[in-house]
Amino acid sequence: MVPDDAPSPGPVPAVGRAPGSRPGTLTGEPRRRVTAEIWIVLGLSLGQSAVYALVNIVARLSAQTPLAEQSTQLNPTRSPRPYLDLTYQLLGIGFALVPVALALYLLAGRGRSVRAALGLDASRPGRDIAWGFALAAAIGIPGLGFYLLGRAIGITVEVQASGLDAYWWTVPVLILSALQNALLEEVIVVGYLYERLTDLRWSRVRFVVASSLLRGSYHLYQGIGPAIGNVVMGVVFSWFYTSRWGRRRVLPLVVAHTLLDVVAFVGYALLPEGAKDWLGL
């Protein structure tokens, strides 16, 4: 703290940046601290998921059962008792968002509104929603075709998008789960990572590659096909975010991702068993 009677030192450079350097330039210990911060945030969230997914795909590929004959279940039931299951589901969704809160908190020390900086505010609702629907259509339709192709050639496991029993709260919980996935992935893998890698002077292309590979890595538990598909999704999302159309607003990505997961989760839960068998779901 500077005493009240201390002489004015003149303009003070941003914390962690050398005087006269351009924004995004870090030197010495602050640079190491930002690097450590990135690893800690990822280690508590999607980086951890990526490590487990890598181990999982190795286990799947080394099993005697072919990959195409294996399955994975999203949103599994946690208890045969309906309201206990609901409690577990809501707790899981809530605690999964803690890394998002941590990432936003860590970015809040940059001296401006984090919501405005990442485009999580409601300043452009119409534009954000329109772009969200457009991105969802651009990713969702080819994504389903890519999944079916992956199942046909044996590089994708059977993905059961919902294992919840049919209760009054099933659809609301699946929608909340979709929103949670969208916030977790888009805020951390795109918004937070872009801000911090820019601090480390990473180029746009380098950021897009890193973000996309990270997105693909934590989907490896679904097989090689979905991992590749999510790398493509990552390229589209991260490139859009940094483009003149995206304007570094993460909300369109959250809208798009939520729509994709709602269609997958709720659609799977409501789809007749015959239709699931026909689609290979």
Radius of gyration of the chain (CA): 21
148 vs 178, residue with greater confidence: 178
The least confident of 128-137, 153-162, 220-229 is 153-162
13 vs 128, residue with greater confidence: 128
**Predicted TM-score (pTM) of this structure:** 0.86
| pLDDT exceeds cutoff 80 at 140 | yes
Question: Do residues 233 and 143 make contact, with C-beta atoms less than 8 angstroms apart?
Answer: yes
Distance CA 280, CA 261 (A): 18
**Percentage of the chain exceeding pLDDT 70:** 84
19 vs 39, residue with greater confidence: 39
Range 151-160 burial, b when 16+ CB lie within 10 A, else e: beeebbbbbe
267 vs 34, residue with greater confidence: 34
Chain-centroid distance of CA 102 in Å reads 15
What is the reported pLDDT for 9? 40
Q: What is the pLDDT of residues 45-104, one digit of tens each?
A: 999 999 999 999 999 999 999 999 999 999 999 999 999 999 999 999 999 999 999 999
What is the reported pLDDT for 115? 81
Would you call 76 helix, strand, or coil by DSSP? Answer: strand
H or E segment to which residue 159 belongs: strand 158-160
CA-based nearest residue to 73, from 154, 173, 164, 144: 164
User: For residue 177, what is the DSSP state?
Assistant: H
Question: Do residues 214 and 50 make contact, with C-beta atoms less than 8 angstroms apart?
Answer: yes
What is the reported pLDDT for 170? 94
Distance CA 39, CA 26 (A): 17
What is the reported pLDDT for 4? 43
Question: Do residues 217 and 52 make contact, with C-beta atoms less than 8 angstroms apart?
Answer: no
122 vs 99, residue with greater confidence: 99
What is the reported pLDDT for 127? 96
146 vs 229, residue with greater confidence: 229
**Average pLDDT of the chain, as a whole number:** 87
Distance CA 25, CA 44 (A): 26
Residues in the chain: 281
Would you call 248 helix, strand, or coil by DSSP? Answer: coil
What is the reported pLDDT for 60? 96
Distance CA 193, CA 203 (A): 12
158 vs 240, residue with greater confidence: 240
User: For residue 180, what is the DSSP state?
Assistant: H
User: For residue 163, what is the DSSP state?
Assistant: B
Give domain limits for the chain. Answer: 28-279
Task: Give mean pLDDT, residues 255-279.
Answer: 78
Chain-centroid distance of CA 257 in Å reads 8
What is the reported pLDDT for 113? 75
Burial class (CB within 10 angstroms; exposed 0-12, middle 13-18, buried 19+) of 32 = exposed
Task: Give mean pLDDT, residues 197-218.
Answer: 97
